[in-house]
Amino acid sequence: MREWKEFDVITKGDGMWLIDEKGNRLLDGVASMWCNVWGHSKKELVNIIIKQTKKLQHSSLFNLTNDKAELLAEKLVKMSPGMNRVFYSDDGSTAMEIAIKIAIQYWQNKGIKNKTKIVSLQNGYHGDTIGSMSLGYVPLFFSRFKKLLFPVVRTPTPEKYRIPNGFTFEEYQTHCIKKIENIFSENKDVAAFFMESGAQIAGGVVIYPENFQRKISQLCKKYNILFVLDEIATGFGRLGSLIEYHAQNSIPDIVSYGKMLTGGYLPLAATLTNNRIYESFLGKYGDMRHFFHGHTFTGNPIACATALTNLEMYKKNKLISKIQRSSKQLESRILEINELDHVGDVRHKGMIMGIELVSNKKKKTAIKPEKSIYKKIFVEAKKHKIYLRSLGNIVMVVPPLAISKNELDFLLDGTIDTIKKVTKVI
Ligand SMILES: Cc1ncc(COP(=O)(O)O)c(C=O)c1O
């Protein structure tokens, strides 16, 4: 905070634009932390919030339920192949905590007490609570808490831009899959494999090669290990498909949704499971098989009603088709961006683009943190009337999913000009 005199105070949202107290407008280039779908102040979403607020604001899911939570659960199950049950929570991190606890308790409910080990991908990110930090350990963010985190076995992610010496990309993918299979075959105590679905986002927009996720899902089946997916940042169209695991030809045992579930208007997340998992939690009360977990605002009816309207709007507005067109528009600018002096790599899928800046293109040298590239990008982008938030040296272009053609061009033009200006002296 020492480096920031003050933050601009946003007081209003208007479509794809954020407006501060002085009336300055910024195009929301990060979809307000990767969750906004339709832009701000969308009439249908605002109306449903008002309507539901007048009717029922909150009622707990402890021994009761509410109509909107029930309807949304039905809808989520219908649209999620292989999934049968829904457990609500408030945000992505809690949805992942729930996924961890369900996966671990599942084996105990089955009477298999030794299966407690978790395997996940290096470089993953699943949230900032203790359990989700353990899953997706990012040294820069989490090293101070290392002692508190539970041990997780981590396997390499096939990152194309920095393949270790001696491998082709094809060979490296085989190596990554082999590593997973070796761990599965040598450790009978593995309970579950966790990964982000389709791509690692906070880890630097690492888009998995074709079949990588499918192969892991098959290995989990072969070795009777639960396959747990995090679609919090990548589902609901962000990577171009409504259900990313379906597009990847993989079926999880447990999957978590968040961020765009309510169009990015209210905090709500969901952890879905198949019947195999659900049924293991059934029994007489005294069997103590049930899931001792719940949050105050679990299944909040205003959030659930908003999510229902949001999902109806996906259908009504044919959003997934529109996303595919916008994705092509993003793709058409990659060459131009790649040619910039300090752009090392551009990674894109659907409605997300990560532009990695380097100090030396040939050697792929990372720009030193002292250069505060992320801050310079933010400050310069504002001059171009856009809001960009980078991940270190990776400039993130993550617009609201329904952004118009002109606004997407405006965002890309501004991003290119920002990069040019900031990287003039590196
Ligand atoms: C893949 C993934 N999982 C989990 C989370 C955590 O979600 P939240 O910030 O809502 O707790 C994030 C947040 O960015 C994420 O990208």
Q: What is the pLDDT of residues 225-257, one digit of tens each?
A: 999 999 999 999 999 999 999 999 999 999 999
Predicted pLDDT at 231: 98
Taking alpha carbons only, the member of 187, 255, 225, 230 closest to residue 110 is 225
Pocket of ligand 1 (CB under 6 A): 91-93, 96, 125-127, 196, 201-202, 230, 232-233, 258
* Mean pLDDT along residues 365-390: 96
Ligand 1 centroid from CA 307, angstroms: 18
High-pLDDT (> 70) share of the chain, %: 100
- Per residue in 176-220, pLDDT (tens digit) is 999 999 999 999 999 999 999 999 999 999 999 999 999 999 999
Instruction: Please state the rounded mean pLDDT for residues 374-385.
Output: 97
CA of 299 to the centre of ligand 1 (A): 19
Helices (H) and strands (E) in the chain, counts: 15, 17
Residue located nearest, by CA, to atom 3 of ligand 1? 126
pLDDT band of residue 104 (cuts 50, 70, 90) is very high
User: End-to-end CA distance of the chain, in Å?
Assistant: 24
In ligand 1, the atom with minimum distance to the C-alpha of 259 is 10
For residue 125, the CA-to-ligand 1 centroid distance in Å is 7
pLDDT at 5: 87
pLDDT digits (tens, 9 = 90+) for 24-81: 999 999 999 999 999 999 999 999 999 999 999 999 999 999 999 999 999 999 999 9
pLDDT the model gives residue 425: 87
List, in order of start, the domains of the chain with CATH numbers. 10-34+319-422 (3.90.1150.10), 46-316 (3.40.640.10)
CB 391 within 8 A of CB 374: yes
Residue 339 has pLDDT above 90, yes or no: yes
**C-beta of residue 72 within 8 angstroms of C-beta of residue 310:** no
Closest of 398, 424, 409, 417 to residue 36, by C-alpha = 398
Confidence class for position 139, pLDDT limits 50, 70, 90:
confident
Mutate to test the pocket of ligand 1, among 259, 297, 396 (most ligand atoms within 8 A of CB): 259
Q: Which residue has the least CA distance to atom 2 on ligand 1?
A: 126
**Which residue puts its alpha carbon closest to atom 10 of ligand 1?**
92
Residue 424 CA to ligand 1 centre (angstroms):
33
Nearest to 149 by CA among 134, 139, 135: 134
Ligand 1 centroid to Cα of residue 230, in Å, is 9
CA 204 centroid distance within chain: 12
Average pLDDT in the chain: 97
Is 90 exceeded by the pLDDT of residue 376? yes
Cα of 138 from ligand 1 centre, angstroms: 13
Task: Tell me the average pLDDT across 122-150.
Answer: 93
Mean pLDDT within 367-372: 94
Q: pLDDT tens across 257-271, in order?
A: 999 999 999 999 999
Nearest atom, ligand 1, residue 96 CA: 4
Q: How far is the CA of 228 from the centre of ligand 1 (A)?
A: 15
